[in-house]
């Protein structure tokens, strides 16, 4: 297997993009990544997208997006794994370069979620849950994550205020990110007084509906050293795991077993442990998700995730900054795109390009992307040469 580097990254505008199409925002991000990489060709392409068919009535994205990017002759593939679609697309692109099958691979993610109403978006997102045993009975993702939150609070003493601190931290980071959908700060009081969605989760505990795209260009490390004038960012760890899709089939509602297993694989491959991670981008679709994820990753002790944001441990300047981009909560969550956007943030941080939200001395970053309530998870570790 060859060593693999990320040599180019790009993001489209994020938010409610009423006047832009799915193909346009994808081309924006992909073109930016290709320009950043400084390459004159793409050998292959993978695109993460959870549900183009339900959100915009468009399937067959491999043909559509390669055509509009101007690379219609290359092999291209749409990848779906619910909200982990971007992370799995990145892993597939990484494997292709590492194997020697192709040298220059574009990995992208895109979702256009606001072309349908609230009911349509809820229906599309619910396809990532168990249709027969969860959705049929009226359970939505806020309800499922609320169950996880209530169990975590009961077992570990996690407080409603600690959940709010996750949102406060991520919005503080997002306020420094010009690409964030909601680049403003919030307060603990504001979170606690926001509209109740599924007890104990309130609207400011939940990630938004977002249109957006992200892309990265991968190539062999040796090629990157010849091509790139920027610091070289290498992929040193990749892990992927799945779990039962239905929350009720799991032994422990508070443990994300797929995340734990994917992290173990990534740490082993990178030959590092949690203590050697400089910062992390994790899947905070709800505030409780970040708490459970950082525990599963081993970044904090089991049951201690609730105190991490409250104490400043996971804030910029803390021991292990988490979601320096603003995370899904503030930056936004175009579901099939999120995993690639995390790679963009890692790459820019490791290059020292993140401005006011730069992690000082960043050497190694981790990205964790998951689908549903954790039914599928990828973990990637990147480090600067």
Q: Tell me the Cα Rg of the chain.
A: 19
Q: Which of 171, 283, 333, 380 is catalytic?
A: 333
297 in Cβ contact with 291 (< 8 Å): no
Between CA 344 and CA 338 the distance in angstroms is 10
Q: Which two tokens stand for residue 178?
A: 């010009």
Q: Which of 83, 219, 285, 292 is catalytic?
A: 83
Between CA 56 and CA 162 the distance in angstroms is 37
Q: Which two tokens stand for residue 222?
A: 């040796």
Between CA 135 and CA 199 the distance in angstroms is 18
- Spatial neighbors of 224 by CB under 8 A, at least 6 apart, are 5, 7, 232
Between CA 254 and CA 349 the distance in angstroms is 30
110 in Cβ contact with 25 (< 8 Å): yes
- Spatial neighbors of 96 by CB under 8 A, at least 6 apart, are 44, 46, 102, 105
Residue 45's φ and ψ, nearest 5 degrees, are -145, 140
Is 83 designated active site?
yes
How many of the other CB atoms lie within 10 Å of CB of 153? 18
Q: Collapse the DSSP code of 368 into the 3-class scheme (helix H, G, I; strand E, B; otherwise coil) and give the result.
A: strand
218 in Cβ contact with 5 (< 8 Å): yes
Q: Report, as residue numbers or ranges, the catalytic residues.
A: 83, 333
């Amino acid at each position: 297997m060859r060593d693999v580097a990320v040599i180019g990254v790009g993001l489209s505008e994020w938010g409610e993009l009423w006047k832009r199409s799915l193909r346009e925002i994808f081309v924006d991000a992909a073109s930016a990544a290709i320009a950043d990489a400084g390459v004159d060709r793409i050998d292959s392409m993978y695109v993460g997208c959870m549900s183009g068919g339900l959100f915009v009535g468009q399937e067959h994205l491999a043909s559509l997006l390669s055509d509009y990017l101007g690379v219609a002759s290359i092999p291209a593939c749409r990848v779906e794994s619910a909200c982990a679609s971007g992370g799995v697309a990145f892993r597939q692109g990484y494997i292709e370069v590492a194997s020697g099958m192709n040298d220059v691979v574009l990995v992208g993610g895109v979702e256009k979620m606001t072309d349908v109403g609230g009911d349509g978006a809820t229906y599309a997102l619910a396809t990532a849950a168990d249709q027969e045993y969860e959705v049929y009975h009226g359970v939505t993702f806020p309800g499922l994550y609320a169950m996880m939150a209530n169990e975590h609070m009961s077992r570990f003493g996690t407080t409603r205020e600690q959940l709010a601190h996750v949102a406060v931290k991520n919005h503080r980071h997002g306020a420094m990110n010009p690409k964030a959908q909601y680049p403003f700060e919030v307060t603990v009081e504001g979170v606690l007084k926001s509209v109740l969605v599924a007890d104990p989760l309130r609207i400011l505990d939940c990630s938004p509906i977002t249109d957006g795209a992200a892309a990265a260009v991968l190539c062999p490390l040796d090629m990157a050293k010849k091509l790139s004038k920027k610091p070289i960012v290498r992929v040193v760890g990749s892990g992927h795991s799945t779990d039962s899709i239905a929350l009720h089939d799991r032994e422990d509602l508070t443990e994300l077993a797929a995340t734990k297993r994917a992290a173990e694989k990534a740490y082993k491959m990178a030959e590092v442990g949690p203590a050697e991670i400089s910062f992390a981008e994790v899947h905070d679709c709800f505030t409780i998700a970040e708490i459970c994820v950082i525990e599963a990753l081993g970044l904090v002790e089991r049951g201690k995730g609730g105190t991490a944001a409250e104490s400043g441990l996971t804030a910029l300047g803390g021991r292990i900054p988490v979601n320096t981009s603003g995370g899904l909560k503030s930056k936004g969550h175009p579901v099939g795109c999120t995993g690639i956007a995390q790679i963009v943030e890692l790459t820019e941080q490791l290059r020292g390009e993140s401005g006011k939200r730069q992690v000082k001395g960043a050497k190694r970053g981790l990205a964790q992307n998951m689908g549903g309530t954790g039914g599928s998870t990828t973990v990637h570790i990147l480090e600067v040469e």
